[in-house]
Structure 1
């Protein structure tokens, strides 16, 4: 009962945090265009600027995600959740105050820096928290429920934004980000002590009291990265999962970096239409992850469900790329009902290959792999998007960059078909003498 209570507080924390961050997503494209290219529906500057932000964020999260995951194994999930949840408040507060060009540039700079810590770290640590409290045979369903709660927050945030003004959306988002932080600090109980890992933190703390502090800390950081590389070499399943995570993330980042600019240029979408599209995506994803996924995992297994999700993700992206009318985009959004299976299944497969004291390390490693895709994506897709939305396109295909994103996800789908998960090894970790497949 105590574990279930801890999970319920985690789910509420994740919902409140995601509600605050997702509710500004429909408005941010209009805010960016108004600040940089007022009165225009297509602007290459905004595409490249968002691409630069995405690449810089990817570089930061490439380092920070494995580090945050490792540190959460040592110092606790609750402690490491505090930093990203606090930093999220700052950029939201800037746009809540003003959305003029000067404040937008301040938001852009601070958001880029804070995203290095915040980008994916809350989700990464939340997954590790769930893995601490849920047995292996129920973990895929639990990850699906966690993802479904994020989708539910996505729906509620976008639905709320649909009926309020842009200034109010940023003000409410800032307030909700504060509420989520306070709720987490008051109600969420630490899970890592239940695994006996707190002794590791004590040992490390005593080590820091000895000898040159800077050298010890540097050694610890280098040791964390060595552990990350050990994870990738620990089993063929883990390395295959990393490949799937990279290409899936690369395709998804390519889609989302281009989709809003494509829809605004082609069909003149605004905040309300973006919110409608995201609500459809979110409702479909929520129902699938919270209702269908717990039923399908025991029947067909995580590996097959992963491949199924990636296959429909390809179809989902292709439909966006060939949209000839706004209704096609709404129809494409419905396919997210089947496309959302991939993420939770992949994370569950990964969690079963790692010992109970290394869940944060494992989830951080996969998040770090996704961050590499975040770096590569704008280098490829931002120029493609800007080119094919401009008057200088080599041929008439405004959604060509989105079609390329579907080809990348297809690579992940093919890799997922080849992936075989060996028996779970949660009784040992990468530092033990277990024989891994």
Structure 2
């Protein structure tokens, strides 16, 4: 692995730590600046605003990186993140805090550019491995960040935002000194500059125009929705079904994050390179489906811990699918494609939790495991992707 790629993965860890740092103290900060103990709809809107900005701006940053290069977009995004976290650390009102959250969503949309960078510098047969490592790095950051953020928040509620700004400043320096441009503008890029659109729906329509690409993007969004089930109901399910206390819940989340990072870092690549992306995707879907069915039927807390390796083996599906998708277009369109994928994922994270929590609260009194069974059943809609023959669509601008 070359130095630039190692640096890109390191910046993903630092970015995830920066995001995770602020998570534990956001409710308290909102209460402080809003001068109210009841956040109501404001907290949900604050959370959803981040995903909404990523939905809008991921395709835009992706296309921009195709035109002017990955490195300048990454540098601009990281510089914006530093300024934004400093802004939120000093924000005196809820309105300004919401403004900062919107800017954070825009700068966070650079993950599409990071994915495009990896596609640029990685042979097709190794992309599953690299995307798995990308997911593992993000997961590691999300394990570390909330722990540090919780400790700093005990000292001063705004300290985690200052720490997040420092993390992104380190990121900025690393990228500036080590990362070199991975994408050279081609004739097709130059000719398309005059037709460049900053409307994210234009890029979604571009992806929808490929019959072979649309099912892959749809499956990618579906995997995100299914993955949101655990993130939405795990704590509630542990309390309702197994009577877990906060310590047990914390341990379970840490174990889940560790297993997930290990699976993506060390299992995705060897399986995909030996068996191919489609078989790796099939294995991930099978493992995750089994885990969802078994957790729905489990009646003791230790069973949930025993199922964690199976859950995390299911995590190999997403990197394998992302590798399949990246092979569907040429190098001059990787930024646009990764932007569409990130935008689709953001939309799924807005819609998914609402539907999931609604189903859970409707069924928790009679059968709280219903939402897990529905998640397993949704994998049926991925079967057309597994059965489909591979092929690259023709290039389009």
Alignment check: 8 A CA contact 1:95 1:103 kept:
no
Q: Which residue among 156, 175, 184 is the counterpart of 2:166?
A: 175
1:16 matches 2:7: no
Q: Which residue among 222, 227, 237 is the counterpart of 1:252?
A: 227
1:349 matches 2:327: no
In structure 2, runs of 5+ residues without a counterpart are none
Structure 2 distance, partners of 1:254, 1:128, is: 27
Structure 2 distance, partners of 1:130, 1:62, is: 21
Change (3 A) 1:235 1:87: same
> Cα offset for 1:355?
0.7
Deviates more, 1:126-135 or 1:149-158: 149-158
Q: Which residue of structure 1 lines up, in the alignment, with residue 206 of structure 2?
A: 230
Q: Which residue of structure 2 lines up, in the alignment, with residue 122 of structure 1?
A: 110
Change (3 A) 1:223 1:15: closer
TM-score normalised by L of structure 2: 0.80
Deviates more, 1:339-348 or 1:318-327: 318-327
Structure 2 distance, partners of 1:125, 1:63, is: 14
1:110 matches 2:80: no
Q: Which residue of structure 1 lines up, in the alignment, with residue 387 of structure 2?
A: 418
Deviates more, 1:281-290 or 1:58-67: 58-67
Alignment check: 8 A CA contact 1:148 1:290 kept:
yes
Residues 169-202 of structure 1 show CA distances to partners (whole Å, capped at 9, x for unaligned) of: 5543332133223322333212112xx43x6666
Structure 2 distance, partners of 1:35, 1:70, is: 37
Q: Which residue of structure 2 lines up, in the alignment, with residue 135 of structure 1?
A: 123
Q: Which residue among 365, 368, 388 is the counterpart of 1:395?
A: 365
Aligned pairs for 1:228-377 (under 5 A) are: 228-236=204-212, 238-260=213-235, 262-263=237-238, 267=243, 270=246, 275-318=250-293, 327-377=302-352
For 2:267, what is the secondary structure of its paired residue?
A: helix
Deviates more, 1:175-184 or 1:260-269: 260-269
Q: Which residue of structure 2 lines up, in the alignment, with residue 214 of structure 1?
A: none
Number of corresponding residues: 393
Change (3 A) 1:420 1:257: same
Q: Which residue of structure 1 lines up, in the alignment, with residue 3 of structure 2?
A: 5
Alignment check: 8 A CA contact 2:61 2:110 kept:
no
Structure 2 distance, partners of 1:265, 1:83, is: 45
Deviates more, 1:347-356 or 1:286-295: 286-295
1:82 matches 2:80: no
Structure 2 distance, partners of 1:87, 1:398, is: 42
For 2:2, what is the secondary structure of its paired residue?
A: helix
Change (3 A) 1:224 1:113: closer
> Cα offset for 1:404?
3.9
Structure 1 distance, partners of 2:142, 2:205, is: 34
Change (3 A) 1:133 1:416: same
Change (3 A) 1:170 1:324: farther
Alignment check: 8 A CA contact 1:127 1:363 kept:
yes
Q: Which residue of structure 2 lines up, in the alignment, with residue 61 of structure 1?
A: 54
Structure 2 distance, partners of 1:93, 1:264, is: 37
Change (3 A) 1:49 1:261: farther
Structure 2 distance, partners of 1:403, 1:224, is: 34
Change (3 A) 1:406 1:53: farther
> Cα offset for 1:295?
1.7
Structure 2 distance, partners of 1:85, 1:268, is: 39
